Structure 1
Amino acid sequence: MTKHEIKIAFNEYDSIEELSEADQKLCAEAESALASSHSPYSKFKVGVAVKLKSGTVLHASNQENVAYPSGLCAERVALFNWGANHADDPIIAMAVTAHTNEFPILKPVTSCGSCLQVMAECEKRQNSPMKVLLYCIDGPVWVMSGVDSMMPFAFFEERLIQTT
């Protein structure tokens, strides 16, 4: 038997005010994206802002459907938009935030496994990591350099890539 251990690393800031001006702005952009959330069932709004190398900022929010599997998380809405319309403009950073009137959110909300897998694929596609800011409104901010810290066992199968 061989024992393996995985450690993650991220920086925690007590509030958004401790971030750089650029990161504060990206978190504010994610917060503004909450307005377009369609979440009548869970009442849990998620907003995302993605900053591209060109300076373009993409906004997205979660989109629910009465048939729950038919909805989509804010992160994937943003990243699929990037892949379809901006794939030649690398992602520099991504801020994620959430809000609900149903209960207090006291720490950053983390992305689900499906979103983390898509984030990992985007990093692979652009051949560089992205900064990820998980922003709790009126609370702490967790900052990661790349998705590896969040999902160390992302699925990549090189044999699926066909060459001609």
Structure 2
Amino acid sequence: MKEININTTISVFNGINELPSEIQTLMNQAIETRKNAYAPYSKFRVGAAILLDNGKIVLGSNQENAAYPSGLCAERVAIFQAGAIYPNAKIVKLAITAASDTNPTLLPIPPCGACRQSIAEYEFKQDTPIEIYFMGESGEVYKSNSINNLLPLSFDKTSL
């Protein structure tokens, strides 16, 4: 038997004000679009903002449905929209913020498993890493230089 040791590196910023100005702008757009979330069931609002290599910014917020599996997370709304509108552009940076209408959300909220897989698909497709910044409604912001830090041993087309 052998063991595989997987290490993850996450950078931690004390708040939005510590981020580079370009990322502050991106995160503030994610915060604004979080207000557009349709979350009548969970009361948990998520906003995402994507910076593309062509300079365009694509936004997404979570969209729930009474048939829960039919809803979509903010990250996937933004990623799929970017892929549909700018199919040849690369995703450079992704900012994510989450807040609850009922409880303080003070810890950074990472993408869910389905969103991690979708981010991995695009990162693999474009063959360049995507910087991912995520936070709660306030407080610390975490940064991952690639989805590989959040989804090691990912499944992609080479497995098919």
Displaced runs of 4 or more, over 6 A? none
Task: Please list the CA deviations of residues 119-152 of structure 1 after superposition, one character each: whole Å capped at 9, or x if unmatched.
Answer: 0000111111111000233200001101000000
Q: Which amino acid aligns with 2:17?
A: E
Q: Distance in 2 between matches of 1:100 and 1:138?
A: 12
Determine whether 1:63 maps to 2:56: no
Determine whether 1:98 maps to 2:101: no
Number of residue-to-residue matches in the alignment = 160
Determine whether 1:73 maps to 2:77: no
Task: Tell me if structure 1 keeps the 8 A contact 2:108–2:142.
Answer: yes
Consecutive unaligned residues in structure 2, runs of 5 or more = none
RMSD: 1.1
What percent identity do the matched residue pairs reach?
A: 37
Report deviation, 1:80: 0.9
Question: Alignment partner of 1:110: what SS?
Answer: coil
Alignment of 1:14-25 (within 5 A): 14-25=14-25
Report deviation, 1:159: 6.0
Residue aligning to 2:13: 13
Consecutive unaligned residues in structure 1, runs of 5 or more = none
Report deviation, 1:157: 3.7
Alignment of 1:9-158 (within 5 A): 9-158=9-158
Task: Please list the CA deviations of residues 22-60 of structure 1 after superposition, one character each: whole Å capped at 9, or x if unmatched.
Answer: 011110010011122000000000000000111111010
Q: Distance in 2 between matches of 1:62 and 1:142?
A: 20
Change in 2 beyond 3 A, CA 1:90/1:103:
same
Task: Tell me if structure 1 keeps the 8 A contact 2:47–2:62.
Answer: yes
Task: Tell me if structure 1 keeps the 8 A contact 2:105–2:138.
Answer: no
Question: Alignment partner of 2:29: what SS?
Answer: helix
TM-score between the two structures when normalised by the length of structure 2: 0.96
